[in-house]
Amino acid sequence: MPRFAANLSMMFQELPFLSRFAAARAAGFAAVEFLFPYEFPAAEIARRLADEGLSQVLFNAPPGDPERGERGTACLPGRQQEFRDGVLKALEYAATLSCPRLHLMAGLAPAGVARDTLTGTYAANLAWAAEECAKAGVKPLIEPINHRDIPGIFLNTTDQAAAIIAAVGPERLGLQFDLYHCQVTEGDIVKRVEKHLPIITHMQVADVPGRNEPGTGEVKWPFVFSRIDALGYRGWIGCEYRPAGETVAGLGWFAPYRN
């Protein structure tokens, strides 16, 4: 049966962030993920996890400058030291939270810079991060993101991600396969899961087109989830969606999978 983790950056926004852990546990989730933890002390988040018996399964490395709308620094020439400092900070949090996976955001492709230059920077940064993460027992992940939600994001398709992972080494770097982003950009999500399953380390889900909970859009989720299960995927599926209304009221889709 698929295992779902509540994304606390997007779900339960009726509550302050630190209160969302208890809400997720009460709703039947055994694990959580979120985008960025750095506003809060790692020890405080760890206490909330322990109090609720929750596993932390994923979060993102620092994204760069949020005031400028940055979405990662991994592909950006001249920002290598900032990228490395961010990874090391994230690994400190991962150690405290016992989190085994870390998403390394690619960043927005700057105008006027050759794609080969960005690709070289990206690959070199990921290779360095893979070494540091391996020392900490953490698997770094990369995620293709659609250009409708984030215009100009460097990493856009699953095939692009697969090529980078092959270059760095699939034992060192994994694919964060977001079914929502894949459906928007490429479609045919079940076939793409089948194709890339050997490198998929984590999945995320939201319905299309509104990025709301499963059952609010165009995708036949019971079929998709049953196929993912039949393929043998045993990782977590993060619920990275914006509830269409109150979070718990929209969890009818989750009832068959409650922990």
Given 14, 52, 143, 246, the catalytic residue: 143
Does the annotation count 92 as an active-site position? no
Among residues 94, 14, 22, the alpha carbon closest in space to that of 58 is found at: 94
CA dist 219 and 129 (Å) reads: 35
DSSP sequence for the chain: --EEEEETTTS-TTS-GGGHHHHHHHTT-SEEE-S--TTS-HHHHHHHHHHHTPEEEEEEPP-S-GGGT--BSTT-TT-HHHHHHHHHHHHHHHHHHT--EEE--B-BPPTTS-HHHHHHHHHHHHHHHHHHHHHHT-EEEE----TTTSTTBS---HHHHHHHHHHH-TTT-EEEEEHHHHHHHT--HHHHHHHHGGGEEEEE---TTT--STTSSS--HHHHHHHHHHTT--SEEEE----SSSTGGGGGGGGGG--
> 240 catalytic, yes or no?
yes
Which is the catalytic residue, given 14, 39, 82, 240? 240
The residues that are catalytic are: 143, 240
